Structure 1
Amino acid sequence: MKKTAWIQNGMRMALAAAALTSIAGTASAADKVQVVVFGPPSLGAFLPPVIKAQKLDEANGLDIDFVQRPPDAYATQFNSGEFKVGGSAALLTVGLASTKGVKVSYLFNLFDYWAAVVTRKPEIKTITDLAGKSLAAARGTTSYAMFEWLASRQGLDTSKISAINTTTPGLIGYALANRADAVQLWEPAYSTLKLKAPDIHLIDLNIKKEWTKFAGSPDLPYLGVAAHQDWIQQNPKLVDGLYKSYKAAADWITAHPKEAAAIIVPKDEDGQQGVIADLIVQKERLGMNVKWASDQRKEIEAVYKAGVESGRLKEMPETATIYQAPKR
């Protein structure tokens, strides 16, 4: 009996060791990917916490390390190649980098464009009413470039706006303090502002109407994930894993708005979780639209064309900036 018990105990130990080896092998199989993103509040910081909390990267064979940087540092460190993958990639910024010789590609879209101009001035009712008024904006952003393009198409000479340049975090402060006649911003800043200042009203930029007329599609790709082309060539499977992780996060957020809001905004200060949950349910202003870049080639080229028209781009970027996903 003692000999039998000893043999059985040895077998149990061997099985346990094999199980541990199997678990360790599985863990080590995950490919590490470092992705630089903007910190919150920003659209680029919307999906990463959900990916990590729900372990969606692990489910797709990845271990994603999301590294937060402010916009200027993000642009410098991504364009230089210090970070090979960027998760706060504004499409026009990718195009601009390409025209300057940076070999990068827009892998897939995360959010379509939505922006707003808000004011407390009753005389400002339409976009053309901004002529002769002061407008606070983060003028270096893609959002402002697209606003200028939309405004010019609707008859506003943007040179007649007294534009006050500020940082993205400063936009809400300008609106709350009435330091400008109007403020140009986007989500989630708009929903946060409406919570604090419900009397402020929105000027319709007619985005869907103007864009569909111009591009022949309601989709207006705006912000997504981009990577350096040398990294893409070396890591095609990781690109696929990144897409699947982000797509799964978007689907989960749509299906679980309250739970997602609690992950995206862990500290529920001033009802912020409710604001984010409502934004997810409302859908249009959030504009979450995860698609491969190659599935939006026509729309992306239209964005580049708009960038040339607005002067943000001096020329059309290379076609290689639009990543061609493998046939599925």
Structure 2
Amino acid sequence: MTIVSRRAFTLGSALALAGTALATPSLAQAKPKIKVGSLTLPVFAPIIINIMKARGFDARNGFEADVTVYPGFAAYYAGLATGEVDTLIGGPTYFQKLRLEGVPLQIIATGATLADLVIITKDPAIKGLADLKGKQLAADMGSGQFQILSIIAKSAKIDMAKDLTLVNANFAVARAQLAAGRVEAAMIIEPIATMMMKEDPSLKIIFNANDEWKKLTGFPGWELVYAMREDAIKKTATAPAMLLAALQDVSKFLISDPDTCDRIATETAKLPPGILKDAVLARRWDFDAKPSWGAERKGIWDTFERAVAAGFHPKLPDEAIIYAP
């Protein structure tokens, strides 16, 4: 090779390498980010997103989940309201409230069924909801879960405010109240319920919201659904479809490999080993991501109607609260 040709080869190689270096960031930037809200608590929000990230389901479906973690529910929902995050999982009636208040959100997918919501007691005389009359129940009265419980109770001619003594307590405090014997029963969600029953085998579930909701409405009940801000959808039109596909990958993986999911939850959400797996196999920790605009739309809207009839919200939201591609 002559000096001239060697120089040409060296220059060509340098230009090729420079082109590669310039192209690499460009390719990396081509993958859109979806800002997802999460929590420090061992509940659905962090466990789902942690499994998604650990298994690369976001990247597989064409986006990067950019996670923001919040210490409590108030800040968590505020993150969606202010636009700090694009999407998160939450109660359908709470999203109804936010939409009525002007937050530009749309429900894009289902998430956790109502099998997650239970009432636990150690009193053998309490066998169902009716047996709680005159008893003390610890429950988070500001939660969407309490709204669902109240709607079901009302259908059974039970007035939660009059027939029971309610002790307002978040799920962690409700757990402690029941353990200390200060209340006869507690409204609890998974995986906290499984942890409690592992610690104290005398505890039993006397109410499962999913079973009772189906009896009442004829529809599957959704404790948690995914909402996304409209501005995020306008920015990336494919965002709802990409996120839904990644959520469906998580849903399938929970069933196909609960051991690995349990290990991820143990490492990231600090759950004791075996808790998530037991809750999944018991079909109480039931994550089922489906498009909100399909067959599930009717059930979600029915929940809105019942929340209005029960007096939790003044009116129905506009129909655009449920996303349609």
Fold equivalence (TM over 0.5): yes
CA RMSD of the aligned region, Å?
2.4
What is the aligned partner in structure 2 of residue 253 from structure 1? 254
Are 2:207 and 1:198 equivalent residues in the alignment? no
CA gap of 1:28–1:77, structure 2 versus 1, over 3 A, is: closer
What is the aligned partner in structure 2 of residue 110 from structure 1? 111
What is the aligned partner in structure 1 of residue 276 from structure 2? 276
Instruction: Give the secondary structure class of the aligned counterpart of 1:27.
Output: helix
Shift of 1:127: 0.8
Q: Among 164, 183, 188, which residue is 2:186 paired with?
A: 183
**Kept in 1: contact 2:171–2:187 (CA 8 A):** no
What is the aligned partner in structure 1 of residue 134 from structure 2? 132
Instruction: Give the secondary structure class of the aligned counterpart of 1:287.
Output: coil
**Kept in 1: contact 2:107–2:227 (CA 8 A):** yes
Give the TM-score, by structure 2 length: 0.89
Are 2:124 and 1:149 equivalent residues in the alignment? no
Shift of 1:16: 4.7
Shift of 1:12: 5.8
CA distance in 2, matches of 1:122, 1:33: 48
CA gap of 1:12–1:175, structure 2 versus 1, over 3 A, is: farther
CA gap of 1:31–1:205, structure 2 versus 1, over 3 A, is: closer
CA gap of 1:24–1:77, structure 2 versus 1, over 3 A, is: closer
**Kept in 2: contact 1:37–1:86 (CA 8 A):** no
What is the aligned partner in structure 1 of residue 300 from structure 2? 300
Give the TM-score, by structure 1 length: 0.88
CA distance in 1, matches of 2:183, 2:59: 46
What is the aligned partner in structure 2 of residue 72 from structure 1? 74
CA distance in 2, matches of 1:142, 1:86: 18
Amino acid at match of 2:130: T
CA gap of 1:59–1:16, structure 2 versus 1, over 3 A, is: farther
**Cα displacement string for residues 136-158 of structure 1 (whole angstroms, at most 9, x for unaligned residues):** 11111111111111122223221
CA gap of 1:68–1:280, structure 2 versus 1, over 3 A, is: same
Percent identity over the alignment is 20
Instruction: Give the secondary structure class of the aligned counterpart of 2:151.
Output: helix
**Kept in 1: contact 2:109–2:225 (CA 8 A):** yes
What is the aligned partner in structure 2 of residue 286 from structure 1? 285
CA distance in 2, matches of 1:39, 1:224: 19
Q: How does 1:62-101 map to 2 (within 5 A)?
A: 62-69=63-70, 70-79=72-81, 81-101=82-102
What is the aligned partner in structure 2 of residue 316 from structure 1? 316
Amino acid at match of 1:142: G
Greater displacement, 121-130 / 304-313: 304-313
**Cα displacement string for residues 244-277 of structure 1 (whole angstroms, at most 9, x for unaligned residues):** 22222222222211111111220797x8221111
CA distance in 2, matches of 1:226, 1:211: 22
Shift of 1:7: 6.7
